[in-house]
Amino acid sequence: MAILVTGGAGFIGSHTVVELLAAGKEVVIVDNFVNAKPEVLNRIRKISGKDFKFYEADILDRPALDRIFEENDIDSVIHFAALKAVGESCRQPLRYYRNNIAGTLSLCEAMTAHNVKKIVFSSSATVYGMNNPVPFVETMPISQATNPYGSTKVMMETVLTDLFKADPAWSVVLLRYFNPIGAHPSGLIGEDPNGIPNNLLPYVAQVASGKLPYLSVYGDDYDTPDGTGVRDYIHVVDLAKGHLLALDKLAEAGVNIYNLGTGKGYSVLDVVNAFKKASGRDVPYKVVPRRPGDIAVCYADSSKAKHELGWEAKFDLDDMCRDSWNFTKNNPNGL
């Protein structure tokens, strides 16, 4: 029996495929390379010493999905494929709603047609919105997000939950990721954004490597110890391992939601300092006004994942910066 990984060539997907292969699972990847490069597939093979099946296809292409389900004995799906840039989603809302929502509907329809009813879904801490107190707990109300990307996550969680309500044979695990960073310790795969990065870590890495002149710190007047935004950064390998444990949870029908974070918050300046230490490079920065839509503090209560999945993050911020720098150094021009 195989696991279908949508978006398996992406940042989190590629690290998860490495863990799946290491655990002896059979893997089928579908990705259209809208935000990934084909070279990542060679890198996964190199790290794991194992092979997998790959389909270059869009999950909106229903006949292509049908072919994948027909040609493989798929038992469950891990669904990463989505567009994820917040700013871009504000400029191109229709593209985001079509890709993320219609893509998920197309996938779920194909799964239903082929009687595959087990899915692990990539959600985000963004569903907690602006009004819940930290730490975020799975039982908190999810709310209207502040941007179209976030709205697609709220909607996709709703779609999957309604699917179970209508047909209790479905097993759905919603994983709410906090801020995934870092890279595989081999330095062969990591975060490889196109163009100028939006997120903090890849931006800092490009400043340290000299590709970008300085970091803009979005506000130092938040109600936090040093005034800069605080986030729960989590090593992508820890996150990837969470998916393996989530697969076990699919054995029972239902909808289960888990936060995947470390439960610790680090400020932008904490990250800058940790990255300087890891890289031995300077990371010049300038404080600029707050970024619209940002919240002051975001971190997880991950005790549910610990108790029910036996999952806990093992890597700390220094490990994350070390591995992120290792990847950047080894791949100065990306993959």
Ligand X SMILES: CC(=O)N[C@H]1[C@@H](OP(=O)(O)OP(=O)(O)OC[C@H]2O[C@@H](n3ccc(=O)[nH]c3=O)[C@H](O)[C@@H]2O)O[C@H](CO)[C@@H](O)[C@@H]1O
Q: Which residues of the shown chain bind ligand X in the complex (CB under 6 A)? A: 84, 86, 124, 126, 149-150, 179, 198-200, 203, 215-218, 229, 231, 268, 291, 293-294, 298
Of 96, 97, 149, 177, the catalytic one is 149
Rule CB under 6 A: is residue 99 a binding residue for ligand NAD? yes
Rule CB under 6 A: is residue 11 a binding residue for ligand NAD? yes
Contact between 332 and 209 (Cβ < 8 Å) = yes
> ω into residue 135 within 30 of 0, thus cis?
yes
Q: For residues 111 and 236, which CB has a smaller minimum distance to ligand X in the complex?
A: 236
Least distance in Å: CB of 168 to ligand NAD? 25
Contact between 249 and 259 (Cβ < 8 Å) = no
Enter the tokens of residue 289. 């006004």
Q: Report the partner that residue 152 touches, choosing among ligand X, ligand NAD, none (CB closer than 5 to 8 A by kind).
A: none
Q: Of residues 220-259, which lie at the interface with ligand NAD (CB under 6 A)?
A: none
- 195: amino acid identity, one letter: G
Rule CB under 6 A: is residue 208 a binding residue for ligand NAD? no
Q: Of residues 115-134, which lie at the interface with ligand NAD (CB under 6 A)?
A: 122, 124
Q: How many CB atoms lie within 10 A of CB 190?
A: 29
Chain centroid to CA 18: 15
Distance CA 303, CA 273 (A): 28
Distance CA 194, CA 197 (A): 7
What residue number has its CB nearest to ligand X?
Answer: 229
Distance CA 21, CA 33 (A): 21
Contact between 277 and 244 (Cβ < 8 Å) = no
**Residue matched to tokens 């800058």:** 272
Q: Report the partner that residue 217 touches, choosing among ligand X, ligand NAD, none (CB closer than 5 to 8 A by kind).
A: ligand X
Contact between 242 and 258 (Cβ < 8 Å) = yes
Q: Report the partner that residue 293 touches, choosing among ligand X, ligand NAD, none (CB closer than 5 to 8 A by kind).
A: ligand X
* Annotation says 149 is catalytic: yes
Least distance in Å: CB of 325 to ligand NAD? 18
Least distance in Å: CB of 155 to ligand NAD? 13
SS3 288: strand
Rule CB under 6 A: is residue 10 a binding residue for ligand NAD? yes
Q: For residues 161 and 199, which CB has a smaller minimum distance to ligand X in the complex?
A: 199
Q: Kindly tell me which residue out of 52, 80, 170, 311 binds ligand NAD, with binding defined by CB under 6 A.
A: 80
Q: Report the partner that residue 218 touches, choosing among ligand X, ligand NAD, none (CB closer than 5 to 8 A by kind).
A: ligand X
Which of left, alpha, beta for 182 (phi over 0: left; psi -120 to 50: alpha)? left
Q: Of residues 171-200, which lie at the interface with ligand NAD (CB under 6 A)?
A: 177, 179-180
By the 10 Å C-beta count (0-12 exposed, 13-18 middle, 19+ buried), 173 is classed as: buried
Q: Would you name the residues annotated as active-site residues?
A: 149
Residues found near ligand NAD in the complex (CB under 6 A) = 7, 9-13, 30-36, 58-60, 80-84, 99, 103, 122, 124, 177, 179-180
